[in-house]
Structure formats: C-alpha cells, structure tokens
Amino acid sequence: MPGFTPVFGIEYPCAGETIDPTVFATFATGVETALATVDTASAAALQRPRGAIRETAQSIAVGAMTALVYTTTDFATGVTAAAGGFTILTSGIYLVSLQAGSITPTTSVTSYAADFSLAGTVVYRRKLSKTTDLTRPGSINVVGVVSATAGQAVTFRFGWTGAGVNLVVPSRATIRKISEL
C-alpha cells in the first residue's frame, strides 16, 4: 500500500511494494501538481493589488481641508488610480499611506493636517500644531490599515491654518492589499 506526504498528498512507494514505471509516473505527477500549487500561490502573493500616485505642486489655500488631486500614476495593479485617489477592485485589507508637505513659504503656519477617507468617511487623520510660528509646514505622513470592499474609493486631503499666500503642496499616496477579508 503506498504512502502519502502529509501536506500535498504526494503518493510514494512503501517498503515491500513492487516498484514499476507507473509508481514513478504517479510520484512525478504528484510532485508537479504540488509545484504548480505553490507557484500559483506565490504568483498571487506577489501580484497583490497596489498603486502609487503623486502630485508635484498643488496650490492649497489657508483654512480648510482640501481634496488632493493627483496628475501622475507611478503604478496601479489591481486598483484604479485616478485624480481623486484609488478605487478598490477586490475586497481585502489594505495598507494606505499619504505623504504631503509644502515647498513654498507663506506668512505663518500654525497647524497642518492630512487625512484619507474610505467611501467618503475619514478613517485616518493626523494634525500637527506648532508652538512657534513657522513660514512653511514640514512633511506629514498618514498611514493606516483599512478593510475595504470592491468599488469603494480612497481619497486624500491636506489643510493648514495660519496666514498668507497659498501653500504649494507636493504629495504622494500609496495603497497595497495585504490580506483577504
């Protein structure tokens, strides 16, 4: 009676069995099937949905959170990248990040914030308030994990308080599926 490996169920001969070409053929087929299974799982893990979008210079006025608009898609596989952010194509757990900051000075900056929303609801927000007057905010990062279903949109915003001319804000947003639901 043949034996079977515990993980992939590959059939192999046991002591005392007559070994002929069909035994080797059965063993080889079992190994090939196991390798194909591992290859399929590996390819799926390496090709998880992901994307990156960026904007080099968006003018943002003082006082209100402003939707970030992206003109460049660095890459988008398994998600739709658009000017407003990303649209989820397959349900899952996603890691989302936003980095933004000003490249131009203004009169004064007392606080600045960034956030991202899933299906219109803010899910992560970060705000930095300064105790000393600045003429330019530093960079701000917002990173979080979201549970999303197909068709939901992820959008991004930046805002600041203070006084002076609009800030010119470059930003980059990324998304990567890290798990199934």
Question: Are the C-beta atoms of 20 and 13 separated by less than 8 Å?
Answer: no
The CA dihedral of 26, 30, 32, 36, to the nearest 10 degrees, is: 150
132 and 144 share one domain? yes
37 and 75 share one domain? no
30 and 92 share one domain? no
9 and 68 share one domain? no
147 and 159 share one domain? yes
Give the 3-state secondary structure of residue 22: helix
The residue range of the domain holding 9 is: 3-46
Give the 3-state secondary structure of residue 77: strand
- Count of alpha carbons within 13 angstroms of residue 91, beta-carbon side: 2
Question: Are the C-beta atoms of 100 and 114 separated by less than 8 Å?
Answer: yes
Widest CA span in the chain: 89
35 and 96 share one domain? no
120 and 169 share one domain? yes
pLDDT at 132: 67
91 and 140 share one domain? yes
pLDDT at 57: 92
Q: Which portions of the chain are predicted below pLDDT 70? A: 1, 131-133
The domain total for the chain is 2
Provide the CATH number for the domain around residue 110.
2.60.120.40
pLDDT at 38: 86
Q: How far apart are CA 36 and CA 43, in angstroms?
A: 10
What's the DSSP call for residue 53? E
Extended strands (E) in 89-152: 92-100, 108-118, 121-134, 140-148
pLDDT at 133: 66
Number of H helices, E strands in the chain: 1, 13
Burial 58-81 (b: 16+ CB within 10 A, else e): bebebeeebebebeeeeebebbeb
Q: How far apart are CA 36 and CA 30, in angstroms?
A: 10
Burial class (CB in 10 A: 0-12, 13-18, 19+), 20: exposed
